[in-house]
Structure 1
Amino acid sequence: MENKVKQKFSSYPDEIKPKMESLRNLIYEVAQATEGVGELEETLKWGEPAYLTSQTKSGTTIRIDWKPKNPDQIGLYVSCNTTLISTFRTLFEDDLTFEGNRAIVFPVDKPIPKKQLMICIQMALRYHLDKNR
């Protein structure tokens, strides 16, 4: 983890850090298991931890964050220029909560719906490979 990202993770409140680390680990787990993704680049974009498929350009950037203005939720963000959130909404309308056309948000006091989220992460990491199919 690069220094800027480490600093960001260490800035989260103690009760938020484990959720954010779990979300980060899930992104890496899915990336390793997903064909065509390759290595992820971890950096900060807009002050948020961001995960890019920089070598293969297979997918869109995934960002994650917790914000003090919404202290009861964490979010997983994708580009609003993609069709991903509308697709996720169609697939998981009953299981996930969405914010506009850019985010999936999770209550900090509930478990992350891992099964559904893994599918969403995989679709984001393969977005450019799969969008013309």
Structure 2
Amino acid sequence: MTKPEPPFQSPEIAAVFAGFPAGVRPTLLAVRELLFAEARADSEVGEVSETLKWGQPSYVPTRANTGTPLRLGVAKTGEAAVFVHCQTTVVHDFQNLFPDAFAYEGNRAVLLADLNEERRAGLRMLIRSCLRYKL
């Protein structure tokens, strides 16, 4: 596995990424990089913590009352996925904007079969929505 940017915040998180199936690992690493880039670009978001929740890498701004956590993992279908808290409106709102560009798992996950440029742009919006959810 190539060295991630930024470096993983713990060996446990590195191990989880190393354990992801080879077919989804590059996509999940790309989403992780987008997430940190979006956080750095937004002065209201600031730093992001990277922890494990339910065995999945989880990301949330360290600044209180800023965002809602998002997790990276593998969906039941075997695709890379971004998971969000099911009681937020993040996935619902995102699905209204991109009804056909992504597949969805209820109100909790956006599935990522691949990341072409159009999907990367949409994914940036999803990430910003999570990072700024409480602002």
Could you state the TM-score of these two structures normalised by the residue count of structure 2?
0.85
- Equivalent pairs, count: 125
Following superposition, the deviation at residue 34 of structure 1 comes to: 2.0
Q: Provide the TM-score with structure 1 as the length reference.
A: 0.87
Deviations 1:25-83 (A, max 9, x none): 0111111112311100001100001001122330000101025x532x11101101111
Would the aligned equivalents of 1:5 and 1:43 in 2 still touch at CA under 8 Å? yes
- The one of 104, 107, 119 aligned to 2:125: 119
Deviation at 1:16, TM superposition (A): 2.5
| Consecutive unaligned residues in structure 2, runs of 5 or more | 1-7
Q: Pairwise CA RMSD of aligned residues?
A: 1.4
| Gapped regions of structure 1 (runs ≥ 5) | none
Give the Cα separation in 2 of the matches to 1:75 and 1:29.
Answer: 18
1:106 and 2:101 matched: no
